Structure 1
Amino acid sequence: MSAEVEVDQVLVIARDIFSSMIDGEAGFLESWVGEPPVLAEPVVAWVDLRGPWSGRAALRTETPTAHNLSRALLGMSADEEVSDADLADAVGELANVVGGNVKALLPEGGKLGLPEVAAELPLTADAVLMHGVALAWRGRPLVVEIWALPTLDQP
C-alpha cells in the first residue's frame, strides 16, 4: 500500500500546527523560496507510523530555531535557556502532531510511535522520501519530511 498523502496536505498540516500551537495566528510559516536550505547544526524530530502503510514523519531545523520553537510552544521568554529535555519535548511534540495528522489521512490508519529527537534522522536502506517540504518559519529554515519505511511494515 502507498501513502495517500499529497505534498499540499503536508503543507496544510504544517501551517495549521504552527498557527495553532506556535504562533497563535496564521502567516508565520510559509513555503521556502529557492533551493531547499542546508541546515547548520541540525535538529530532527520524528515519529514512526506502523500499520498497512509504514513510514516516518520528520521535522528538521537548525538548533537555534529548535530553541525558538521550544520557547514558543512552552510559553518561555525569549531569553530563557532551553534545556535538552525541553527541546526534546517541544520539537518531539511537533513531530508527533505532524505524524498524527498524516496518520489521519491514511485510509487504514495504523499506530503512531513515540517521538524521538536527534541530530540526524536514522533511516534504513529501503527508506523512500515521499515528500520533503521546505518551509520558512519567521524566515528560518524548517523541513517536513514523510518517509516510506517498508521494513517497519507489520503483517
Structure 2
Amino acid sequence: MSRQFFGGSITVLLGLVLLAAAGTLHAEPMSESKPFAEKFLLLQLSDGEAEKQNKVLSVAANLLEYYGPDTIDIEITTFGPGVRLMYADNSRREKITSLMAQGVRFTVCMNTINTIERDTGNRPVLHPESIPVDVGVAHILDEVEKGYVLVHP
C-alpha cells in the first residue's frame, strides 16, 4: 500500500510542478505603477502628423475610460517624426499631462532626438515628464517580449 501511495504522491507533485511552470510561461508583465493591471498596451507613434498624434492620444483616453485607469497599463513610445508629440511646446500638452496623471507613460527615442540635434544644431525641449529610452524600436521589442501588446494606430 505504501508503494501505491508514494507513486500517487509523485504524480500529484509532478502535476503541481507542471501547473506552476505553465503559469510562469504565460506570466503577464508587472507594472510597479499599476499593480492591478490586467491589460498591457504599447502604442507606437512614429508619425509626426497631427492626425496621427490625435489618434494615439484618443486611443489611450478611450481605453482608460473603457477599462478604468487601474486595470490597463498603457505606454506610448515615440520615435522618428513621432517624437514631435513630446516636444514641450506641443499644442496637445494638456491632454498628454492629463493622460500622464492617469498613469500613461510616454517614452521618447533619444536616438531620434540626438539625430535631430545633429542635423539642425538645436536640441528639442521635451515634455518634462517624458521618459527617455536609448532606441525607441529596441525598447518596443523589449516591452513586447515582456508581454505588452503593440498597437500602431
Same-fold call, TM cutoff 0.5: no
What TM-score, normalized by structure 1, do the two folds share?
0.26
Please identify the structure whose Cα radius of gyration is greater.
Answer: 2
Q: Report which of the two has the higher share of helix.
A: 2
Q: Report which of the two has the higher share of strand.
A: 1
